[in-house]
Amino acid sequence: MRIRLLATALFSCAVPLAAAAQRVSTVPLIPEPTVAALAGELSGASAKRNLEFITRQHRMRASRGFRSAADFVAAQAKSYGLEEVVVHEFPADGHTMYGTQRARLGWDPEFAELWEVRADGSRIAPVVRVASFEDEPVILAEDSDSADVTAELVDVGAGTSDKDYAGKNVRGKIVLTSEAPGDVVPLAYDKYGAKGVVSAAQNQPNAWSREDVNAIRWGHLDSFEARHAFAFMVSLKQYRGYVQRLAAGEHVMLHAIVKASRHAATYNPVTALIPGSDRKNEEIVLSCHLDHQRPGANDNASGCATILEVARTISKLVADGKIGRPSRGIRFVWPCEVECTLALFHSEPGMLARFKAVIHMDMVGGGPVTKSIFHVGRGPLSLPSFVSDVGQRFGAFMNTESQMYAQGTGGKYPMISGEGGKEPQLGDLDEFTMGSDHELYQEASWRIPAIYMNDWPDRYIHTNFDLPANIDPTKLQRAAFIGAASALYLANFKSTDTPALWSVMESASLRRLAQMLDRRSTLSAADGAALTRTFLAEERGAFESIASFAAIPDSTKQSANAYFARLETITGTPAAPPPASGDGALVFARNTAVSGPMVVFGYDYLADHTRGKIVPKLLDFEGLRGGGGEYGYEVLNFVDGKRNVRDIRDAVSAEYGPVDIALVTEYLRALESAGVIKAAK
């Protein structure tokens, strides 16, 4: 490793002199020849070619489209020299429980068309085809069932409350709604006798949601309802056209034909391995999710093609002798989001037991038109880990290298794809966010630390416009670098790496200190003390987590202890909490027979196991930095048989903003009544 610092004269307008324009940043954590080898092999263009195949499949969980994407990924992984390449087959039968996930049935759409017709059912000339599955598969809401219906269209507005149906007869008709099909059919079908739904629901709303009126959004029905229903998704332009015509008193007749069914099938996650040289019982995982609507380029063919590129690159560099075989194995997982991961965890406990850390990629290729911000996120406070600092250090390196290159001031490893952009990476190195399979790895049932790379927002997410054309191969190449560098570092991590790691962690900790002090200044004394206690415990916990990978040398322990003493001088020793009383003193432990988070796909474990009778208010709470789903996830994660309710309330308050202990208690009682946790002692 060679560090070269050149004095750079700057004019007052900060334009660097051309002659002094070759600055080089320091390669962190791994040897520079490894970085050079990765930079010489990684190809965003190769990743994009794989992405293009994946985006041609309509990849619903447990469907033929998903299977063809899975078979393709498996074939590529084999051709790249990976071992133990398996396309798994786990029941997707509507009843098997994978921890807190009830398996959904497979769903295979074959055909769907929606036509505007005359009152007698004959087609209008010129023909008006409203929607075609052949044209855009996203037009058919997931879990739609077969139908052949010719009926009038009735505008029910939202269609989610009785007043939307007042004075309207929708029996036997097709309802037009602005809301999600799954939220509309209970009233529209069961109570008012409708026979179909046309929806323009805006799922995954963001600042651009209603601006592209031609975008068609992915829609869903309830997977577990026995009722047979169907829903077509239309663009806002189509929707508004119908609203206007119906308001003007026009009669609109539609002919809907759907061939689709839910049926017992299999989940088909793919796994593959680059074997380790010696620590064969330990593996670093690279994960993504292979499912979603066609094209689904950024969400999430991008993450899947990128981890495949990591696999190709590391496999080739090892085979060519350019890098050594990693000590721990590197396992690659291409699941359907959440469901396949839970099915894998519960079906392959031997593999799961080897997982030491995961690098999860969900949307990592959005080019400028997508408006994406790229993030390299930390783990939750319930799972402090050094792994977060590793991913963010490589993220920061990629930011610096690409920024220097874009500015014309150097950048030795900007990772530019010949087919891609030269824009700097402005990766946000941020706190824990939820939203994909990394939630499962880090859940208290498994506690596998994660590096989460994702784009957010993305103006085209879950629409027919999430296209390969919007994907920047340079961005794929950079995400692949961060993933590959992190995987190799973690796979090779040993005791002697600890001092250099600790110096990276110490500077990251100081940045978090600044943020914590800033937040504390807005809080009450009691909440400020709780925040300080949580912060100090978190920083210490992250350091101690190194021991789960390798022994921490005494000299590093001494440096760290000296740092933590200095830290407490700056924060002040926080006041001890007042003695917990009443419900605040309750201690719960996890029922280890129920593994997984409460929020999974299409299935609500808590509602199902309390017969829908308990709807904890915490889940509707909006805190300073998080909402009910986030509080709920972390409250359960903090349950460990030691923390009392007051401790848990303080910890989630530090993470997401102060919350009333009564809401936390009510939620824990609900979890207890569902058998997820039990009173300890």
Q: Which is nearer to Zn ion, 452 or 631 (CB)?
A: 452
Query: Judging by DSSP bridges, how do beta strands 231-233 and 196-199 pair with one another?
Result: parallel
Q: Which is nearer to Zn ion, 55 or 300 (CB)?
A: 300
Shortest reach from residue 633's CB to Zn ion, in Å: 17
Say if CB 391 and CB 508 are below 8 A apart: no
Q: Which is nearer to Zn ion, 60 or 381 (CB)?
A: 60
- Which part of the chain contacts Zn ion (CB under 5 A), choosing from 113-121, 295-303, 407-415, 501-509? 295-303
Shortest reach from residue 439's CB to Zn ion, in Å: 12
d(CA 138, CA 286): 28
Q: Which is nearer to Zn ion, 306 or 545 (CB)?
A: 306
Q: Strand, helix or coil at 470?
A: helix
Shortest reach from residue 184's CB to Zn ion, in Å: 24
d(CA 623, CA 619): 11
Shortest reach from residue 293's CB to Zn ion, in Å: 11
d(CA 134, CA 143): 17
Q: Which is nearer to Zn ion, 183 or 362 (CB)?
A: 362
d(CA 536, CA 572): 11
Interface residue with Zn ion among 43, 300, 477, 571 (CB under 5 A) is 300
In this structure, what token pair is assigned to residue 667?
Answer: 């939620």
What is the contact mask toward Zn ion in residues 238 to 277, using x (rule: CB under 5 A)?
----------------------------------------
299 in contact with Zn ion (CB under 5 A): yes
- Which part of the chain contacts Zn ion (CB under 5 A), choosing from 305-313, 362-370, 387-395, 671-679? 362-370
Residues 151-210 that bind Zn ion (CB under 5 A): none
- Which part of the chain contacts Zn ion (CB under 5 A), choosing from 31-39, 109-117, 187-195, 296-304? 296-304
637 in contact with Zn ion (CB under 5 A): no
Shortest reach from residue 519's CB to Zn ion, in Å: 29
Shortest reach from residue 188's CB to Zn ion, in Å: 29
**Tally of residues, the chain:** 681
Under 8 Å CB-to-CB from 154, ≥6 apart: which residues?
A: 168, 169, 170, 173, 174, 175, 176, 194, 246
User: Residue written as tokens 């593994």?
Assistant: 595
- Which part of the chain contacts Zn ion (CB under 5 A), choosing from 23-31, 275-283, 355-363, 443-451? 355-363
Q: Strand, helix or coil at 525?
A: helix
- Which part of the chain contacts Zn ion (CB under 5 A), choosing from 107-115, 338-346, 359-367, 559-567? 359-367
- Which part of the chain contacts Zn ion (CB under 5 A), choosing from 106-114, 188-196, 207-215, 291-299? 291-299
Shortest reach from residue 292's CB to Zn ion, in Å: 6
Quick one: three-class SS letters along 627-663? EHHHHHHHHHHHCCCCCEHHHHHHHHHHHHCCCCHHH
What is the contact mask toward Zn ion in residues 580 to 619, using x (rule: CB under 5 A)?
----------------------------------------
The amino acid sitting at 414 is P
Q: Which is nearer to Zn ion, 113 or 443 (CB)?
A: 443
Q: Which is nearer to Zn ion, 362 or 630 (CB)?
A: 362
Q: What is the size of the binding site for Zn ion (CB under 5 A)?
A: 3
455 in contact with Zn ion (CB under 5 A): no
Shortest reach from residue 300's CB to Zn ion, in Å: 4
C-alpha dist (Å) from residue 206 to 19, 216, 432, 556: 45, 15, 19, 45
Interface residue with Zn ion among 142, 362, 431, 455 (CB under 5 A) is 362
Shortest reach from residue 255's CB to Zn ion, in Å: 34
User: Residue written as tokens 């916990």?
Assistant: 541
Q: Which is nearer to Zn ion, 338 or 530 (CB)?
A: 338
The sign one gets for the Cα dihedral 446, 447, 453, 459 is positive
Instruction: List the beta bridge partners of residue 175.
Output: 154, 197
Q: Which is nearer to Zn ion, 61 or 173 (CB)?
A: 61
- Among residues 654, 662, 663, 600, the alpha carbon closest in space to that of 628 is found at 663
The sign one gets for the Cα dihedral 77, 78, 82, 83 is positive
Say if CB 65 and CB 263 are below 8 A apart: no
Residues 314-343 that bind Zn ion (CB under 5 A): none
- Which part of the chain contacts Zn ion (CB under 5 A), choosing from 57-65, 299-307, 511-519, 658-666? 299-307
Q: How many Cβ atoms are within 10 Å of 150's Cβ, its own excluded?
A: 19
Shortest reach from residue 490's CB to Zn ion, in Å: 23
Shortest reach from residue 303's CB to Zn ion, in Å: 7
The sign one gets for the Cα dihedral 628, 634, 636, 641 is negative
In this structure, what token pair is assigned to residue 99?
Answer: 């921890």
CB-based burial of residue 224 (10 Å sphere; 0-12 exposed, 13-18 middle, 19+ buried)?
middle
Q: Which is nearer to Zn ion, 297 or 664 (CB)?
A: 297
Q: Which is nearer to Zn ion, 298 or 653 (CB)?
A: 298
Shortest reach from residue 223's CB to Zn ion, in Å: 18
Q: Which is nearer to Zn ion, 287 or 300 (CB)?
A: 300
Q: Which is nearer to Zn ion, 300 or 382 (CB)?
A: 300
Q: Strand, helix or coil at 232?
A: strand
- Which part of the chain contacts Zn ion (CB under 5 A), choosing from 293-301, 344-352, 395-403, 415-423? 293-301
- The order of strands in the sheet holding 106-117 is 123-132, 106-117, 253-263, 147-155, 174-177, 196-199, 231-233
Say if CB 534 and CB 381 are below 8 A apart: yes
Q: Which is nearer to Zn ion, 462 or 609 (CB)?
A: 462
Shortest reach from residue 402's CB to Zn ion, in Å: 24
Interface contacts to Zn ion, rule CB under 5 A: 299-300, 362
